[in-house]
């Protein structure tokens, strides 16, 4: 497939919620370039576009690629046939391609059944989709789960079609094959897992969701360089049928997943938006909210609703995993959503970098959210003698660090985690966590592990 509308110059500067202190550094640029490479591929719920996309991701992380055969039962669904698209066009009576898939993937309704015949404009029009309010943008449409075909066009393109007969061709096939998804597991000290999910089925659309794939790829690459406590699992799969397939295959081991996030819409200039898990008060909900509260930008929080992205599956009642959704603009919350204007001009290295930093900050909270026991609970221990307390000063200027020491000592009764203490004290998590490290190093705390033993 040829590159289409790949704009590598004139990239809009990130505005909105991007802190000016966050520069479009090397990593942001690397994610942007990764997106630019994946952008021309024609992805769908099955087929070559997804495989080629995962092959690019695999250049950065050792992804395991799984193929699930057509016809496999996955909960109430069935893995669909594989869609292969070779060409598609509408030609006028002069043989000129007035609609051409080779100009833009979005021109073909995704998963269209093949067609090749001549028809009058009136009949063709019932298969054409445009956006009258955005007359220069091509909409994104799919025909999953019911057999049909169609073309998406700019409204100006539609208005330019004159009466007459048109040769209509969608050179595609729908055949038994497989559904392809990618998975990467980063083992940690414990079996408890943090799951990240990015959807892979959208064709030439950048923010939704090549940005999610790019940030997930780089987050995975980052986490594999660390000695982490949690194990981390990244799943790159299709919206709906991909997450349902993955959940069905992994149903017996979902109890290992302790926290998770749906990764999408991470490249635009909008502020971060967090959609809570179905549970609403899971540790992941609290960890993300803490990180967002301490960024210096506005953000939005949405309560759980059973529509949107793959939280629909991960938070279905029988699954009910503690997974939220962390995006920049919410899905459907920006005019370019699901149109050809969701291109490289909509996203920026700075926004991608900021999204990556927010995700890493969340993983840092999860990693350091320990539970301790105060070994000197009979009145306060003498901190000054241990070099933990300032030598002079009055209550009026007691610093956040000293507050944190006192809060950690007071609430480290084996019941409260550092995130509990952080919320109760109204301090920053990293301040509380650093205080706990100092107290632990001084022998005043013992860590309580969820499985019993302590150190
Ligand atoms: Zn979408």
CA of 12 to the centre of ligand 1 (A): 22
CA of 279 to the centre of ligand 1 (A): 24
Residues 287, 405: one domain? no
Q: Closest Cα partner for 277 from 239, 304, 245?
A: 304
CA of 233 to the centre of ligand 1 (A): 22
CA of 28 to the centre of ligand 1 (A): 22
CA of 408 to the centre of ligand 1 (A): 43
Residues 217, 270: one domain? yes
CA of 401 to the centre of ligand 1 (A): 44
Residues 92, 171: one domain? yes
Residue 240 Cα distances to 120, 129, 198, 320, angstroms: 36, 23, 11, 15
Is 14 within a domain? no
CA of 268 to the centre of ligand 1 (A): 14
CA of 91 to the centre of ligand 1 (A): 29
Residues 275, 399: one domain? no
Q: What does the pLDDT read at residue 362?
A: 98
Is 11 within a domain? no
Q: What does the pLDDT read at residue 453?
A: 46
CA of 198 to the centre of ligand 1 (A): 11
DSSP characters for 40-85? TS---SSSHHHHHHHHHHTTTS-PEEEEEETT-EETTEE--PEEEE
Residues 364, 257: one domain? yes
Is 7 within a domain? no
CA of 82 to the centre of ligand 1 (A): 20
CA of 405 to the centre of ligand 1 (A): 46
Are the C-beta atoms of residues 185 and 197 closer than 8 Å to each other?
Answer: no
Q: Count how many domains the chain has.
A: 3
CA of 264 to the centre of ligand 1 (A): 9
Q: What does the pLDDT read at residue 389?
A: 79
CA of 208 to the centre of ligand 1 (A): 5
Is 426 within a domain? yes
pLDDT in tens, the chain (455 residues): 344 443 333 333 333 333 434 444 799 999 999 999 999 999 999 999 999 999 999 999 999 999 999 999 999 999 999 999 999 999 999 999 999 999 999 999 999 999 999 999 999 999 999 999 999 999 999 999 889 999 999 999 999 999 999 999 999 999 999 999 999 999 999 999 999 999 999 999 999 999 999 999 999 999 999 999 999 999 999 999 999 999 999 999 999 999 999 999 999 999 999 999 999 999 999 999 999 999 989 999 999 999 999 999 999 999 999 999 999 999 889 999 999 999 999 999 999 999 999 999 999 999 999 999 999 999 999 998 998 876 555 555 568 999 999 999 999 999 999 999 999 999 999 999 999 999 999 999 999 987 544 45
Which of 114, 145, 175 corresponds to the end of one domain?
175
CA of 128 to the centre of ligand 1 (A): 20
CA of 39 to the centre of ligand 1 (A): 14
Q: What is the CATH number of the domain that holds 279?
A: 3.40.630.10
Residues 300, 343: one domain? yes
Residue with tokens 């793959």: 310
Chain centroid to CA 133: 29
CA of 211 to the centre of ligand 1 (A): 12
Q: What does the pLDDT read at residue 331?
A: 86
Is 453 within a domain? no
CA of 271 to the centre of ligand 1 (A): 18
CA of 212 to the centre of ligand 1 (A): 11
Q: What is the CATH number of the domain that holds 119?
A: 3.50.30.90
Residues 58, 102: one domain? no
Residues 182, 165: one domain? no
CA of 443 to the centre of ligand 1 (A): 51
Q: What does the pLDDT read at residue 373?
A: 98
Please report which residue ranges of 67-188 form alpha helices under DSSP H.
121-125, 155-159
Residue with tokens 């003698």: 385
CA of 214 to the centre of ligand 1 (A): 16
CA of 320 to the centre of ligand 1 (A): 22
Q: How far apart are CA 377 and CA 292, in angstroms?
A: 33
What 3-state class would DSSP assign to 360? Answer: helix
Residues 87, 169: one domain? yes
CA of 247 to the centre of ligand 1 (A): 20
CA of 207 to the centre of ligand 1 (A): 9
CA of 439 to the centre of ligand 1 (A): 47
CA of 338 to the centre of ligand 1 (A): 6
Which of 343, 368, 393 corresponds to the end of one domain?
368
CA of 291 to the centre of ligand 1 (A): 26
Which H or E element spans position 168?
strand 165-175
Widest Cα–Cα separation across the chain? 93
Is 188 within a domain? yes
Q: How far apart are CA 267 and CA 136, in angstroms?
A: 22
Residues 316, 187: one domain? yes
Residues 361, 339: one domain? yes
- Quote the pTM value: 0.92
Residues 212, 288: one domain? yes
Q: What is the CATH number of the domain that holds 417?
A: 1.10.10.10
Q: Which domain range does residue 164 map to? A: 82-175
Is 13 within a domain? no
What 3-state class would DSSP assign to 208? Answer: helix
Q: What does the pLDDT read at residue 10?
A: 32
For residue 342, give both structure tokens: 């969701």
Q: What does the pLDDT read at residue 394?
A: 53
Torsion of CA 243, 248, 251, 257, to 10 degrees: -10
Q: How far apart are CA 278 and CA 288, in angstroms?
A: 15
Instruction: Report how far apart the first and last C-alpha atoms of the chain are (Å, whole number).
Output: 57
Is 251 within a domain? yes
CA of 237 to the centre of ligand 1 (A): 13
Which of 154, 175, 196 corresponds to the end of one domain?
175
């Amino acid at each position: 497939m040829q590159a289409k509308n790949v704009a590598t110059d004139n990239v809009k500067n990130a505005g909105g919620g991007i802190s000016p202190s966050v520069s479009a550094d090397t990593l942001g640029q690397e994610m942007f370039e990764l997106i630019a490479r994946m952008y021309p591929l024609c992805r769908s719920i099955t087929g070559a576009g997804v495989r080629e996309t995962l092959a690019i991701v695999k250049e950065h992380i050792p992804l395991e690629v799984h193929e699930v055969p057509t016809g496999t039962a996955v909960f109430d669904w069935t893995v669909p046939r594989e869609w292969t698209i070779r060409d598609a066009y509408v030609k006028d009576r002069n043989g000129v391609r007035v609609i051409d898939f080779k100009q833009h993937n979005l021109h073909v309704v995704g998963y269209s059944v093949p067609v090749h015949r001549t028809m009058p404009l009136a009949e063709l029009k019932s298969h054409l989709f445009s956006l009258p309010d955005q007359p220069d943008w091509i909409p994104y449409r799919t025909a999953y789960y019911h057999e049909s075909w169609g073309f998406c066009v700019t409204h100006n393109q539609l208005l330019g079609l004159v009466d007459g007969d048109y040769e209509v061709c969608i050179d595609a096939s729908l055949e038994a094959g497989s559904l392809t998804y990618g998975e990467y597991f980063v083992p940690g000290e414990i079996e408890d897992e943090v799951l990240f999910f990015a959807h892979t089925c959208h064709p030439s659309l950048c923010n939704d969701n090549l940005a999610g794939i790019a940030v997930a790829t780089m987050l995975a690459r980052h986490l594999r360089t660390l000695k982490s406590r949690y194990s981390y699992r990244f799943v790159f799969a299709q919206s709906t049928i991909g997450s349902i397939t993955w959940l069905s295959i992994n149903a017996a081991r979902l109890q290992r997943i302790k926290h998770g996030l749906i990764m999408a819409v991470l490249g635009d200039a909008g502020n971060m938006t967090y959609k809570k898990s179905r549970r609403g008060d899971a540790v992941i909900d609290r960890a993300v909210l803490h990180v967002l509260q301490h960024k210096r930008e506005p953000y939005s929080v949405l309560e759980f609703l059973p529509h949107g992205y793959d939280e629909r599956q991960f938070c279905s009642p029988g699954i009910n995993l503690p997974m939220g959704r962390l995006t920049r603009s919410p899905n459907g919350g920006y005019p370019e959503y699901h149109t050809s204007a969701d291109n490289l001009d909509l996203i920026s290295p700075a926004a991608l970098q900021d999204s990556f930093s927010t995700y890493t900050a969340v993983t840092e909270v999860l990693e350091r959210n320990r539970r301790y026991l105060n070994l000197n609970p009979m009145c306060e221990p003498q901190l000054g003698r241990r070099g933990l307390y300032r030598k002079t000063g009055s209550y009026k200027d007691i610093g956040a660090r000293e507050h944190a020491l006192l809060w950690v000592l007071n609430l480290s009764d084996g019941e409260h985690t550092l995130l509990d203490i952080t919320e109760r004290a109204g301090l920053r998590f990293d301040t509380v966590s650093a205080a706990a490290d100092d107290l632990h190093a001084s022998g005043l705390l013992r860590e309580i592990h969820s499985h019993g033993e302590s150190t």
